[in-house]
Homo-oligomer: A and B are copies of this chain.
Amino acid sequence: MSTDTVAPSLPSPYALSPEARELLFTEARTASKFTDDPVDDDRLRAIWELFKWAPTASNVNPLRILYVRTPEAKDRLVPLLAPPNQAKSASAPVVAVLALDTRFTEHLPTLYPAIPQLKDAFEANPELREENASFNSALQAAYFLLAVRSVGLAAGPMKGFDAKAVDAEFFPDGRWRSILVVNIGKPAPDAWSTRLPRLEYEQTVQLV
């Protein structure tokens, strides 16, 4: 090959290494089937130690996690999932039920000590509180998924489950409310479906 057919080496726009971009974004995929390799406590904690730092509005941090790992606990969860999802979670060594804490405001004096009136402001406005809990717990769910990938595991997030039944089974006091179920583990060789398309840049981005 003649050297003048080689494209000039442009500086990369990324500060993140190619390996990290592949691990988190470009090569990462939603897994549907897992190996039997167990996931230990250290790795579950490492996920949290990473994603906890990513930002939420007013630092409210409303996301909570229930890790379902024992066979007994999985037997309680799996029947509450949509039928096409049951085999996926049954094969996962650990399944995270991500939930929002409906009483997240109790922690605001700890989380935002400079603004002590924040707790009362949220508690006086149920609509604001609900909107805030929903939005910020979803932000944190996304950080969580990338943190799972950061510990070298595959994540399989699923919206298809009976949230009311999951809450009744695992959160009977009504404080936590489930928002997403995430299968976690080493992906099996046949864990992947065909990658789904994305929209084009011009369909989703405007510049003024």
Contacts and interface: CB of A to CB of B under 8 A. Distances in A.
Contacts of A23: 15-16
Copy number of this protein in the oligomer? 2
A101 to B, nearest CB: 8
B44 A21 contact: no
B48 A204 contact: yes
Contact of A197 (B46, B111, B138): B111
Contacts of A52: 198-199, 204
A87 interface: no
User: Top 8 nearest A-B pairs by Cβ distance?
Assistant: A15-B152, A142-B142, A138-B138, A13-B46, A20-B20, A16-B150, A73-B208, A57-B159
22 contacts: A13-B46, A13-B151, A14-B46, A15-B149, A20-B150, A24-B24, A25-B51, A26-B50, A28-B53, A55-B157, A58-B159, A65-B204, A65-B205, A65-B206, A66-B205, A67-B208, A68-B208, A111-B197, A138-B139, A140-B142, A142-B142, A170-B208
